Structures are given as C-alpha cells and as structure tokens.
Amino acid sequence: MPTNDVKLLGAPASQYVNRVQFALNLKSIDYEFIPQNMREKSELLLKSNPVHKNIPVLLHGDKPICDSLVIVQYIDEFWFDGPSILPSDPYDRAIARFWAAYIDDKWIPFFKELTTAKDEESKTALVEKILEGVKLFEDVFVKASKGKCFFGGETISFLDIVLGCYLGWLKAWGIQLDVNFLDESKTPALVGWAERFSSDKAIHGIIPETEELFRILQIILARAADAASK
C-alpha cells in the first residue's frame, strides 16, 4: 500500500513501539524503522517529539505523530481502507478507549512500581494488583469478544493491540518473580486469546523473545537499585 514516506522512531523492546508496529502490519503499511537509543536521544527524536522526548514517534512525510495510542488511532483513520482497528460502533469504540486508558494509566504502572519495590511485602502487594487486573481483563474479554477470537471479535482490534503489546513483558516479569500471570486454570479465555494474538501473522515476530526481555529487565532492575542506593 502506498505509504507517503512512513518512518517509525522506536526501540524493538518497547511495548509502546510494538503497538504501532502491530497497527502498521495490520494495515499492510510499509515503513522504515529507525532505532533509537533512549540514553543518547537523537536530534531527530528531540525535534520530532520536543514535548515528551520519547518513543514511539511516527513520521508521516514531514508530520510527526506522538504517543502510541494516538498513533494507532491515526493509522486507523488515515488508512481507512484497510481492516478497521477501532470498533465501528460508537459505544464499543468508547468502551475500548476506556479500557485502553485503564491499562496504561492504572495497570502498567504497577510494573513500574515493581522496579523500585524495596521489600517482599511490597512486591507481593503489587503482584496481587497485577493479577487482579488480569482477572478483570478475562471478564472484559469474555464480554467484548462475544465468543469470538479477539477483543474486537473475529479480527485484531484496538484493545487487542493495547493489551497484547505487554504479553512478552508479562512472561519476563513472571520469570523474575516466579509468578504465572496468565494461568489457564484462572483465566482460560485470556490464555487462549494470548496464544491466538501472538501467533497472528501481523503480530508474530514483533513481540521480542522472552529471553531478551528478561535480559533487559535485569538491566532495568540493576539501574533502579543503583539509583536507590545513591
């Protein structure tokens, strides 16, 4: 599909960048991936996202679009002739956006808190909150999917992308904490969804290997411990 010069500034291990990659693949959009070192931010990144100075940034011609959720919605609206990402029904669209905001604003921050948790009691409390979220997502999936494969029904849609980008990190954190965050005996529908999502041709190969994410997690934890000791 003609792209009008599409570039993506990002890092392969970033779940937020992965979201954009999922959306671009679903729409069959060719793009150039420009890797970014977030410890030495490039002039292009700083120029393209002067407010947050962060990834991902989609460059569509000379137009920069920032923030993963905003970018995914932009892709869906601009390349409207591809498969729809956001639900067509206004109510379903609003519900998908509600849960997307919940995931980013309420659930993912628990993982960030884990990186600085100082004692086992704090870690245990955070793990419980994460598991409560997973159980909640099981209920949301059952209701939203209406017995079909994905949150959006038969095809991958907005909420699949928003939650699915974190599947690799769930496994990495699971190894670190010796916790099975996706337990088939507790959340069978969500486990099945995760398998279908990860194996989809538009998704497969984008989510980094668990071993690589675990390696990166060790670096993140070591830096957090070093910062806390100063």
Domain segments of the chain: what residues?
6-78, 90-219
Which pLDDT tens digits describe the chain residue by residue (230 residues)? 445 699 999 999 999 999 999 999 999 999 999 999 999 999 999 999 999 999 999 999 999 999 999 999 999 999 988 899 999 999 999 999 999 999 999 999 999 999 999 899 999 999 999 999 999 999 999 999 999 999 999 999 999 999 999 999 999 999 999 999 999 999 999 999 999 999 999 999 999 999 999 999 999 999 999 988 87
32 Rama sector, left if φ>0, alpha if ψ -120 to 50, beta otherwise: beta
- Yes or no: say if 26 and 83 are a contact pair by the CB < 8 Å rule: yes
pLDDT at 81: 84
Closest CA to 96 of 164, 167, 152, 47: 152
pLDDT at 82: 82
* CATH for the stretch 90-219: 1.20.1050.10
- Yes or no: say if 54 and 11 are a contact pair by the CB < 8 Å rule: no
pTM above 0.85, yes or no: yes
pLDDT at 1: 46
- Tokens 């598991």, residue located: 131
d(CA 145, CA 192): 12
- Yes or no: say if 163 and 203 are a contact pair by the CB < 8 Å rule: no
d(CA 5, CA 30): 9
Could you tell me which residues come within 8 angstroms of residue 155 by beta carbon, excluding any fewer than 6 positions away? 83, 149
180: amino acid identity, one letter = N
3-state SS, one letter per residue, for 24-74? HHHCCCCCEEEECCCCCCCHHHHHHCCCCCCCCEEEECCEEEECHHHHHHH
Q: Do 6-78 and 90-219 fold alike per CATH? A: no
- Tokens 């909640």, residue located: 136
* CATH for the stretch 6-78: 3.40.30.10
How do 6-10 and 32-35 pair as beta strands? parallel
Q: Which residues pair with residue 150 across a beta bridge?
A: 153
Q: How far apart are the first and last CA of the chain?
A: 52
d(CA 76, CA 189): 27
pLDDT at 75: 98
Q: What is the CA radius of gyration of the chain?
A: 18
pLDDT at 3: 52
